Chains A and B, each alone.
Chain A
């Protein structure tokens, strides 16, 4: 703030309405171009580093497929972040809860892992609604730290309850009839492809929900201007609860789709939580499509970092991207300046 002259922050940001749209489109295309150029350079460097086209191709394919999964997890988070302005640190822990629900049903009844969607999604919707009503709605309008601490506490609580009841031993969810196929030389697991397609489908559903339904219009109205939405008769508190519940339901869907791809442990949410936050910031908070694209980018970054630095540091590249985006474009690659 010290660098800013006081007037600069107080003056409303104003630009003539006529060419705003064209300007925004141009700026957007410019940024997309920069991202594409950076990606191409990164891939070329990876080619030089590894000396094998197949390795890089495999990484790109794996990166994009895994990225779909990250986008899926981040979609719920970005809704909550964008509409309620809550940094939901419990998103990963809720994902872990959903994983255990899914695992429990597969292990208990032998049902197909993807069928657990029918239970995991509504269950997480209800949990989300309860969490928001019980823990978070009272702190609406309070400081950001307040909500961050509550969700942090909730995440510690959920993770350690899982730890107490299920123990730390890793479990896995087997997908019956999983297969592998070769995509121009890169090996792709069926479960990974399904998760990717599921992510795109869910993204489309959410997009439709937000753009084409009354509920979605109300959610967007509340996100844009809460008091204004209240004035035209929208029940803001209820919209908040529903949005939070939809966000956690996305975690439920992500859990059922990703179950066969990961080792299920009580703390598995942690790593996804971090990645999901990076994706949310990258895509612009509240931007569902941005989350999907951001997820793909982060999946690629992770895989390419592995080529550059070796297996242990795949997250390092993710954090470097994260910090750069936070510093240079905190509103996200595709978001507009608030």
Chain B
């Protein structure tokens, strides 16, 4: 009998599991979100399915930008550079060398990371900060756009079209237009990117980088290797953004200098994060869903406008107007973004 009385409290203690560590909790939420998302393309109508894929592309770009500018505090205004390098590397390898886009994607990540480290090295070496850093990143993206536009190697302003194949092939990332497979591939990529960003934030390097962001002088005087960790962050961010570029080309079957390196791409990487919450894990996710759905809402609005908006029929620009308004409102009213504001309220 006595053994039972001793065992009982012991088992009680076992039942009360210790609280999950924050990263495990975040991984669990991610797994749940991915599980919920898996059947989506089977349920949604085809048009909404395309929106869902677009959201995932936004998500990849947003997660990439957030690592450098949110966690790292290095405000990049030139993420189109890495998106374009990813898109162009994989497109070039596929079109000219017939290499699988999966390998092209890896090559694109490597190229983007290398270029990012190069740009980052010089920017940090010459201590560019704030607006000057943003302007420099912007200049590098524009330089790449101009170089690509004028080099025969990259088909000048024509760009690359992905050669169509018969049937579908996972190895070539090509499926029939309405196939849910595109969504699942994008979901795996986006899920992996979010998982990487969770892992990074809680890793030793991530701790260093957020410390450097908050007070570089203090961090470096305590012995944090500033340059190395900044460059690591920049490389990781560029690599994830390159994945978005490579997948974009594969999904839309086409890329040209403006679609790859245009400043609109850099803006598309920034806006979802700002709306969701800069420097948070879930900000890019929430922001991408909002911005992605918004573009769909405005597209429908333009196709079949209600009476009082009749003059808008067939006009372009409304989608950007709406997300510009959203951007301004969020920055003015919720400077920490939706997720950032919620988290602050929660902790209070």
Contacts and interface: CB of A to CB of B under 8 A. Distances in A.
Given A163-B315, A327-B126, A312 B332 contact: no
A157 B328 contact: yes
Interface in A278-305: 281
Interface in B245-277: 263, 267, 270, 274
Given A164-B312, A316-B147, A152 B318 contact: no
Given A135-B328, A161-B317, A148 B142 contact: no
A118 interface: no
B136 A157 contact: no
A328 B126 contact: yes
Interface stretch (A37-45, A49-57, A138-146, A192-200): A138-146
Interface in A89-114: none
B335 interface: yes
B135 A160 contact: no
B321 A164 contact: yes
B324 interface: yes
Give the most central of A152, A154, A159, A270: most B CB within 10 Å.
Answer: A152
Give the most central of B123, B136, B147: most A CB within 10 Å.
Answer: B136
A153 B315 CA distance: 20
A154 B326 CA distance: 11
A29 interface: no
Interface string B115-137: 00000001101111011101110
B128 to A, nearest CB: 6
Nearest to B335: A146
Contacts, number: 135
A326 B221 contact: no
Contact of B220 (A2, A152, A270, A326): A2
A313 B316 contact: no
A93 to B, nearest CB: 10
Given A163-B315, A163-B316, A164-B318, A157 B146 contact: no
Contact of A319 (B127, B134, B139, B220): B139
A1 B142 contact: no
B149 interface: yes
A160 B143 CA distance: 25
Contacts of A48: none
B150 interface: yes
Contact of B142 (A139, A144, A310, A319): A319
Contact of A2 (B227, B270, B325): B227
A319 B321 contact: no
B216 A1 contact: yes
Contacts of B131: 87, 144, 148
A30 interface: no
Contacts of A6: 217, 220-221
A322 interface: yes
B320 interface: yes
B226 to A, nearest CB: 4
Interface string A148-182: 11101110110111111001100000000000000
Contacts of A312: 146, 149-150, 157
B327 A326 contact: no
A154 B323 CA distance: 11
Contacts of B263: 270
Interface string B61-78: 000000000000001010
A323 B140 contact: yes
Contacts of B130: 144-145
A309 B320 contact: no
Contacts of A313: 146-147, 149-150
Interface string B196-236: 00000000000000000000110011000111000000000
Contact of B321 (A148, A152, A157, A323): A157
Given A157-B324, A330-B128, A316 B122 contact: no
A70 B33 CA distance: 51
A318 to B, nearest CB: 9
A148 B134 contact: yes
B220 A277 contact: no
B188 interface: no
B38 interface: no
A136 to B, nearest CB: 10
A130 to B, nearest CB: 14
A129 to B, nearest CB: 17
A47 B155 CA distance: 30
A145 B270 CA distance: 11
B327 A156 contact: yes
A126 interface: no
B331 interface: yes
Contacts of B312: 164
Nearest to B136: A326
A330 B318 CA distance: 38
A229 interface: no
A34 interface: no
A256 to B, nearest CB: 25
B128 A327 contact: yes
Contact of B320 (A135, A160, A274, A277): A160
A225 to B, nearest CB: 19
Interface string B85-115: 0000000000000000000000000000000
Interface of B: 75, 77, 122-123, 125-128, 130-132, 134-136, 138-140, 142-143, 146-147, 149-150, 157, 216-217, 220-221, 225-227, 263, 267, 270, 274, 278, 312, 315-318, 320-321, 323-325, 327-328, 331-332, 335
Interface of A: 1-3, 6, 9, 87, 135, 138-139, 142, 144-146, 148-150, 152-154, 156-157, 159-164, 167-168, 266, 270, 274, 277, 281, 309-310, 312-313, 315-316, 319-320, 322-323, 326-328, 330
